[in-house]
Amino acid sequence: MTITAAADGSALGNPGPAGWAWYVDDSSWAAGGWKHATNNQGELKAVLELFRATAHIDDDLLVLCDSQYVINSVTKWMKGWKAKGWRKGDGKPVMNLDLLKEIDEAIAGRRYRFEWVKGHVGHPLNEAADERARGAAEAFQRGRSAPAGPGFRLGGAAAVVAERITPAVAASVGQHWTGSPTLTADRVAERASAYAHEELFSFDDLGDNIGEDHRDLTDPHGPDAARSGGELHRVTLALSAEEHRRLVQRSEARGVTIEEYLRGQI
């Protein structure tokens, strides 16, 4: 799966009141800015915040950017700058050093690529990012708070879960509860999508479909071992950073590992 997002910056007067924004769709975007900055700083900040917002997602990232400076800085020049102690070929210090160092840290281990798009020619994602970045700059110019956006949701959290739960996975999950006729493969995907909208995939909510006599399917020695043939079944969950944080909190509160907590919920 590839996340496609546009990143853009804006500076009124350049330098002047400035804004940045990244945009996936209307339910997944973020923006911010400063009272005084350059357009290049806005462009770099947009890319940085996009990588930070998607740090918990193990997917390829396609960054649409209308700034050749940003694309070249990240994909061509950064390695050489680092080797020279963050100095350019003429020995002068690299500009916007703090932002570049933060981007260098944020992209470590990530799968990404940049694609240049011409600005202000009607590209829908680029236009949406530009509109939000300029809106942030104008808000700072007027001394008002700028809309920060909903953050990363990839078209709503349900889209993330629905994308990850393929028909084969759903069927695999559904067949483990053959004693519960309401828990079909389609029902698994449907419930997962519904839970994602609530921003917490909770096993507690599956209780109405999972009978008491189907709780130990992961235990080869448990009461369901004979019925399941003593086989272990792997279930994979795609969780957002916030969902994972809540899961960790719940397992720590009970003094068990995450795996033990999930088994208990199932």
**Nearest by Cα to 58 from 238, 212, 195, 208:** 238
- Identify the active-site residue in 19, 43, 214, 224: 43
Give me the DSSP letters along 187-237.
HHHHHHHHHHHTT---GGGGGGTS-GGGS-TT-TTSTTHHHHTT-------
Based on the residue annotation, tell me whether 199 is a catalytic residue of this protein. Answer: no
At residue 263's C-alpha, the angle toward residues 262 and 266, to 5°, is 85
Based on the residue annotation, tell me whether 25 is a catalytic residue of this protein. Answer: no
- Identify the active-site residue in 9, 32, 42, 149: 9
What dihedral angle (degrees, nearest 10) is formed by the CA atoms of 48, 49, 54, 55? 60
- Identify the active-site residue in 91, 98, 120, 212: 120
Side-chain half-sphere CA neighbours of 111 within 13 A = 9
Based on the residue annotation, tell me whether 135 is a catalytic residue of this protein. Answer: no
Based on the residue annotation, tell me whether 43 is a catalytic residue of this protein. Answer: yes
**Nearest by Cα to 23 from 140, 135, 162, 141:** 135
Q: Exposed/middle/buried for 232, CB within 10 Å: 0-12, 13-18, 19+?
A: exposed
Write the CB contacts of 115 (distance below 8 Å, at least 6 apart in sequence). 62, 63, 64, 65
Angle between helices 124-141 and 39-53 (to 10 degrees): 120
Q: Exposed/middle/buried for 200, CB within 10 Å: 0-12, 13-18, 19+?
A: middle
Based on the residue annotation, tell me whether 9 is a catalytic residue of this protein. Answer: yes
- Identify the active-site residue in 66, 156, 176, 224: 66
Based on the residue annotation, tell me whether 252 is a catalytic residue of this protein. Answer: no
CA distance 133 to 149: 11
- Identify the active-site residue in 33, 42, 130, 243: 130
Catalytic machinery residues: 8-9, 43, 66, 120, 130
